[in-house]
């Protein structure tokens, strides 16, 4: 497995397998992040598609992104917000959104998946984003803060408030 920088250098040399490696490394996380923002599977797919094609074009033009993960996350975020601004109202596509997959055979988590997703989507957008990025993407609070254009303390607070609400919704605050 090559590093991000090695893959970008490979792309600059015209090696499409390097592009495939980057895509496979980030596709799942970026798709889930996009779903959590635009709340539509189809639109999230379009966003992820557009982001990777823009990356391929940019690198083909000889312009390297300086920090690939930050570039990809910011691109997804901006494109999702761009789509949300164009919508007259937020249409929730919760029925088939599928933000998370429960571990097979884990009856409790399978049963609570929909409740968790609903609770996550009911959070204020910045809190939901902080919870998603911290919990399932392993981003640190500095990275979340940069993405949200806020301070580390604010990102941390958003995460903590969001987590507390999820605990309450799932009845985990009483155990």
Residues of the shown chain interacting with other proteins in the complex, contacts defined by CB under 8 A: 11-16, 18-20, 23, 27-29, 31-32, 35, 45, 48-49, 52-66, 71, 74-75, 78-79, 81-82, 84-85, 98-103, 106, 109, 113, 116, 125, 135-136, 148-149, 163, 166-167, 172-173, 175
Least distance between other proteins and beta carbon 10 (Å): 9
Nearer to other proteins, 56 or 121 (CB): 56
DSSP code, position 94 = G
Nearer to other proteins, 29 or 39 (CB): 29
Q: Are 94 and 121 in contact (CB under 8 A)?
A: yes
Nearer to other proteins, 49 or 91 (CB): 49
Rounded to whole angstroms, the Cα distance separating 37 from 79 reads: 10
Q: Are 11 and 54 in contact (CB under 8 A)?
A: no
Three-class DSSP labels, 131-159: HHHHHCCCCCHHHHHHHHCCCHHHHHHHH
Nearer to other proteins, 27 or 93 (CB): 27
Least distance between other proteins and beta carbon 100 (Å): 4
Least distance between other proteins and beta carbon 41 (Å): 8
CA dihedral 70, 74, 76, 77 (to 10 degrees): 140
Q: What angle do CA 79, 134, 147 make, to 5 degrees?
A: 35
Nearer to other proteins, 91 or 124 (CB): 124
């Amino acid at each position: 497995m090559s590093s991000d920088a090695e893959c970008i250098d490979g792309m600059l040399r015209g090696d499409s397998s390097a592009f495939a490696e980057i895509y496979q490394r980030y596709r799942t996380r970026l798709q889930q992040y996009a779903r959590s923002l635009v709340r539509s599977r189809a639109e999230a797919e379009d966003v992820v598609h557009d982001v990777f094609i823009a990356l391929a074009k940019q690198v083909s033009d000889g312009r390297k992104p300086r920090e690939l993960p930050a570039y990809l996350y910011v691109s997804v975020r901006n494109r999702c917000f761009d789509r949300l601004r164009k919508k007259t109202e937020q249409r929730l596509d919760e029925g088939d959104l599928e933000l998370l997959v429960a571990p097979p055979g884990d009856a409790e988590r399978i049963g609570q998946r929909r409740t968790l997703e609903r609770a996550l989507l009911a959070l204020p957008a910045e809190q939901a984003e902080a919870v998603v990025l911290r919990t399932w993407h392993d981003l640190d609070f500095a990275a979340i803060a940069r993405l949200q254009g806020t301070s580390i303390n604010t990102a941390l607070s958003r995460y903590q408030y969001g987590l507390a609400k999820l605990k309450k919704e799932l009845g985990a605050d009483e155990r």
